[in-house]
Structure 1
Amino acid sequence: MQPFSKRKLARDVIEHAVHQPVAETAAMLQRDGELKPGRGKVSGVVALSLAVLSLLAVLAFHFPQYLTTPDLRHKYSVDLLRQLLLGALLVAGGMALGNLVLGRSRNLNLVAFALVLAATALGGSRVPVGSFPDHTPYIGLDWFILDLLGSTLVFVAIEKLFPLYKGQTVFRREWQTDLKHFAVNHFLVGLALLTVNFLLHHLFGWLTASAFQQTVQHIAFVPQLLACILVADLAQYWTHRAYHEVPFLWRFHAVHHSAKTMDWLAGSRQHMLELIVTRVCVLAPLYILGFSEGVMNAYILVVGFQAVFNHANVHLPWGPLKYLVVTPDFHHWHHASDDEAIDRNYAAHYAFLDYLFGTAVKSTKTFPEKYGVVGDYMPDGFVRQQLFPFRGPAASAKAPD
């Protein structure tokens, strides 16, 4: 018999207490499907999500010069953010602790509660924020936190209230891949904006005419906003169409089209280079024409909402409006791999552009039958999808955005 070892016993206890809950939680996050209510998993997932976002928020409070977006940090109400963070910690901790007391999904809720304790130990909502330099390299952690929290609350609720596919679960297949796209694209927002600003100023700066821009900025807000969206959508339409019709560009865009299930998170699946190129192509004419700052801010809100909403698992009675603006019904057809849907419905905001240019879907069916790229040749996983355009000859099969 081996001699009794207190050190080995302690190590085994720690491994059982720490490793097993983390391993089980990680394994659960690799799965998909419906979460059954009444077992502590639904509330446990909510607690875990809030705990992770809260811990990230605490880190953003500690290192704002590196983890927050300069354009946003000047508009924050720090007191409001502290209250939101405190509320998230209380909700997450309360849910996790309640499930632990009731013995429901213990490992999942143990990890969530441990993260709440870690966030609290690091200062929680009381982290002091002093002065710091403004022109440092940064990643958009703050934008990721706020957008993920807001999008989840708003769009999951809308999808549950007005679903197109009623049996579709929140954690559908490949949600993990799309969440990685969502995170990386948000973390790289700083790099993307720096690249866009550099290219716009150096490639298109000579085209700007201050007198003409002053005229544009004196147009009333609503018509100026509608004109801004139209200009952006014309640029988006032809850029988008080029992604479909030029084989080399399609290899990048195929990443976006490879999602086989449509929901609010599916629109995040996008190659990083496409993200930057498209932003340059769309923002360049807006920069040259000189739309006002207020209009540009409103346009960013519009494009941010439509980019998520039009991919969502949502169906509403749009009536004649569906011929004017892009809706989820309209954009779902663009993502379909049905024969009549290939290379159709390119517009991002104004649906009438596709009717004007002859690229609107014509079908006797109400909804598409299947989504994704024809031939289903796109590999799963964020890294492999980013590498896909650079490997092998261009794929001949195609399907929409």
Structure 2
Amino acid sequence: MLEIDKLNELAESHGELRRGKGMVTGTIAISLAVLCFLGVLVFHFPQYLSTPELRKSYNVDLMRWVLLVAMVVSGGLSLVNIIFNRTRWLSSFAFLLIVLSALLGGHKVPVNDFADNTPYIGLDWFILDLLGSSLIFIFIEKLFALRKDQPVFRAEWQTDFHHFVVNHMIVGFVLLATNLMVHKLFGWAANDGIRGWVGNLPFWAGLLLIILVADLVQYWTHRAYHEVPVLWRLHAVHHSVKSMDWMAGSRQHILEL
């Protein structure tokens, strides 16, 4: 119970992690272990936990390789910490998750044919977005650092990580519900003539048009969030970040999302 309390305290705190005590490597290990476990679940239940649009572009062998590397890195970091008695309570959780992932099949879980029109939660998108964004943006921020003394696990990182997780999970439900509602309630508004005209545009013209429309909608929506008092109360959450990095943009009020 003491170890679980420590894990809860880490997740709910808001301070930065200092190097030299095993907290950084332990946090990396537990984060990768959780992603590995979720990845194994996606392999087991792709019809419910993967995004249909992403399935079409997957290289399954590459995904298996990424999962294997993540399991080895997480297991290695946690095992080293356990041996040298560095944050053993944290690394033990990570190592147990890796062992559980391996027992469930790890990167060798077979993917058989499955139904393609089932309701789904984009768990694969969450895993790949977190892993990919971390690797890309942390590298860029360290290469061109504005605040050279700011650690990767800076103050408030837990708060923004909570927003990142919740927002990604909510987006899946919101998109599913919105698509169902739009087709049922506003299907009458579809105009084949306009849709055909847009579809027949040259690629460059369609690209410019969608950028223009998206930018106009984003601009006026964002401006309304700043100028309408009721909307600002929601949007103010996004501007409450004091320690800026790539994950700070994930801090959004759930109603704004």
Q: Do the two structures share a fold, i.e. TM-score over 0.5?
A: yes
Question: Where do 1:315-334 residues align within 5 Å?
Answer: none
1:90 aligns with one of 57, 72, 96: 72
1:36 aligns with one of 19, 25, 29: 19
Partner of 1:356: none
CA distances 1:48-98 after superposition (whole Å, capped 9, x unpaired): 211111011112222222222222233322222122111111111122222
1:266 aligns with one of 239, 248, 252: 248
The one-letter code of the counterpart of 1:32 is: G
**How many pairs align?**
256
Partner of 1:191: 173
Partner of 1:175: 157
- Does residue 1:107 correspond to 2:89, yes or no? yes
Select the structure that is richer in helix: 2
Partner of 1:65: 47
**1:216–1:257 CA distance, 2 compared to 1 (3 A):** same
**Which of structures 1 and 2 has the larger relative contact order (alpha carbons within 8 angstroms, sep 6+)?**
2
- Does residue 1:154 correspond to 2:136, yes or no? yes
**How many angstroms does 1:260 deviate by?**
2.5
- Cα distance between partner residues in 2 of 1:202 and 1:209: 15
Partner of 1:241: 223
Aligned 8 A contact 1:139 1:189 in 2: no
**How many angstroms does 1:202 deviate by?**
5.5
**How many angstroms does 1:246 deviate by?**
1.8
- Cα distance between partner residues in 1 of 2:22 and 2:188: 60
CA distances 1:168-222 after superposition (whole Å, capped 9, x unpaired): 2322333222212111121122222124334544666555443444443444434
**How many angstroms does 1:123 deviate by?**
1.6
Aligned 8 A contact 2:16 2:157 in 1: no
- Cα distance between partner residues in 2 of 1:188 and 1:137: 14
The one-letter code of the counterpart of 2:24 is: V
TM-score, length basis structure 2 = 0.87
Aligned 8 A contact 2:122 2:172 in 1: yes
- Does residue 1:79 correspond to 2:61, yes or no? yes
Identify unmatched segments of 5+ residues in structure 1: 1-18, 276-401
Q: Quick one: percent identity of the two aligned structures?
A: 56
Q: Kindly name which structure, 1 or 2, has the bigger radius of gyration based on alpha carbons.
A: 1
- Cα distance between partner residues in 2 of 1:24 and 1:258: 27
Identify unmatched segments of 5+ residues in structure 2: none
CA RMSD of aligned residues (A): 2.4
CA distances 1:258-312 after superposition (whole Å, capped 9, x unpaired): 223322111111223322xxxxxxxxxxxxxxxxxxxxxxxxxxxxxxxxxxxxx
- Does residue 1:24 correspond to 2:6, yes or no? yes
The one-letter code of the counterpart of 1:149 is: L
TM-score, length basis structure 1 = 0.58
CA distances 1:87-138 after superposition (whole Å, capped 9, x unpaired): 1111111222223233333222222211111111122112222333333332
- Cα distance between partner residues in 1 of 2:22 and 2:74: 13
